[in-house]
Amino acid sequence: MPTSKTLSVFDALAGRPPSANFAQLDVRNDHIVLDFDDTAAESIDFCSVLPQDYAGGDLRVVVTWAATSATTGDVVWQAEFERHHIDDSTLGTHDLDNDDFGAAATASTATSTSAGELMQTIIDLPATDADNPAAGESFRLRVSRVATSGSDTMTDDAELVAVELREV
């Protein structure tokens, strides 16, 4: 059986808004959430450092979320990884003035039949699509709801509760 290990865990308050089209902070029954609109693609960034025991494997992003009030439809989530490489022989050194996200990956999940029930969406990111990150490097993980996709059919806000980054 394949195993995975947790590299980082982020709650909604750990999110950093990008310069435009970002999810909005909200509260649901004393839980801080990030609201992703149902009519526009919105994003949030999470920043951290890969632990020293990261072995260079593929990445898995687990998005825990709920619908504000909807009980039908699908939500399309997207993840992108930005490696902050330092003196990489192929890539050079990362310049914080420039976005340098790797290839995006998406996954879709149907909402629960009860509003407010937690759902999880799993998005797999091959390490090659993230420029082969290395242990000890800082990174930025961008999570987006792609509400503009024809496959995103939930007509309601999606409330992000937490994101887990795993090595698989």
Range of the domain at 120: 5-167
CATH of residue 22: 2.60.120.260
| Residue in 30, 5, 21 with CA at minimum distance from that of residue 13 | 30
At residue 1, the pLDDT reads 42
At residue 81, the pLDDT reads 98
Give tens-digit pLDDT for 86-122.
777 676 677 788 888 999 999 999 999 999 999 999 9
Give tens-digit pLDDT for 49-96.
999 999 999 999 999 999 999 999 999 999 999 999 877 767 667 778
At residue 97, the pLDDT reads 82
At residue 94, the pLDDT reads 72
At residue 85, the pLDDT reads 81
At residue 69, the pLDDT reads 95
Total count of domains within the chain: 1
pLDDT at 43 over 80: yes
Give tens-digit pLDDT for 130-150.
989 999 999 999 999 999 999
HEC profile for the chain?
Answer: CCCCEEEEEEEHHHCECCCCCECEEEEECCEEEEEECCCCCEEEEEEEECCCCCCCCCEEEEEEEEECCCCCCEEEEEEEEEECCCCECCCECCCCCCCCCCCCEEEEEECCCCCCCCEEEEEEECHHHHCCCCCCCEEEEEEEECCCCCCCCCCCCEEEEEEEEEEC
CB 107 within 8 A of CB 151: no
What does pLDDT average to over the chain?
94
